[in-house]
């Protein structure tokens, strides 16, 4: 019975609209919850499905092992904004329906724009998990990624942050334009400060300039060795 229920949900999520392996359905934005930059949940007919955006990877917001990564919250907010402001949202699948975690795989189109391409263009995502070299939107996304890299926007402003196997927060420890703070504190530290390791992911805040931290009513911590290393 469970298999039939799941299949019924998939049919509800993606009604066939055309030939071949492509399936497209329009989804009301009220039925969508954004998990992070590259993952949403869609609720229809009383059932919920986790949808992973095809071909992209954004920094984590609250991973059980990795925690929160720089620009993860910004990527999530970017996805939320596009979905919230959209008048029409469509899900489009290719032949592969699910990833190894059981999440449904799809392209998300907002008012005629491919959400994945917009994330890549703005530097909030890298191209990843490419199973098919002939994927429908891959070429235009590669072009968008190349332009984002050339402009050094978002994830590309740091040379060693985005790698083939994910985002490497540890590569940013010596960066001079990233600071961390806890939601429960009014001070901030350089990202390489050991104190940052003790901040719980759900409380961690990243700032990308001291001015940004100060504007948020925070001041430099008094962890002397951290600021000595930063100088």
Residue of 23, 49, 60, 94 marked active site? 60
60 is catalytic: yes
Residue of 23, 52, 73, 90 marked active site? 52
d(CA 88, CA 193) in angstroms, rounded, equals 45
Q: What is the DSSP string of 24-85?
A: EEE--GGGEEEEETTEEEEEETTEEEEEEETTEE---SSBTTTB--TTHHHHHHHHHHHHHH
How would you label 27-44 residue by residue, b for 16+ Cβ within 10 Å and e otherwise?
beeeebebbbbbbbebbe
Residue of 92, 94, 103, 218 marked active site? 103
103 is catalytic: yes
98 DSSP assignment? B
User: Which active-site residues does the annotation give?
Assistant: 52, 60, 103
């Amino acid at each position: 019975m469970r298999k039939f229920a799941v299949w019924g949900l998939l049919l509800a999520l993606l009604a066939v609209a055309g030939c071949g392996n492509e399936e497209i359905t329009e989804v009301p934005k009220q039925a969508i919850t954004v998990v992070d930059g590259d993952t949403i949940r869609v609720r229809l007919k009383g059932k919920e499905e986790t949808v992973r955006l095809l071909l992209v990877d954004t920094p984590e917001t609250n991973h059980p092992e990795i925690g929160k990564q720089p620009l993860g919250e910004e990527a999530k907010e970017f996805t939320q904004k596009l979905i919230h402001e959209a008048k029409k949202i469509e899900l489009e699948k290719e032949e592969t329906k699910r990833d190894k975690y059981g999440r449904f795989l799809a392209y998300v189109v907002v008012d005629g724009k491919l959400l994945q391409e917009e994330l890549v263009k703005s530097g909030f995502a890298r191209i990843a998990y490419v199973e098919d070299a002939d994927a429908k939107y891959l070429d235009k996304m590669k072009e968008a990624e190349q332009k984002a890299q050339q402009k050094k926007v978002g994830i590309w402003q740091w040379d060693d942050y985005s790698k083939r196997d994910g985002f490497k927060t540890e590569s940013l420890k010596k960066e001079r334009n990233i600071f961390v703070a806890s939601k429960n504190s009014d001070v901030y530290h350089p990202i390489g400060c050991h104190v940052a390791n003790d901040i719980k992911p759900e409380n961690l805040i990243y700032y990308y300039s001291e001015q940004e931290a100060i504007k948020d009513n925070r001041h430099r911590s008094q962890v002397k060795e951290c600021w000595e290393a930063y100088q």
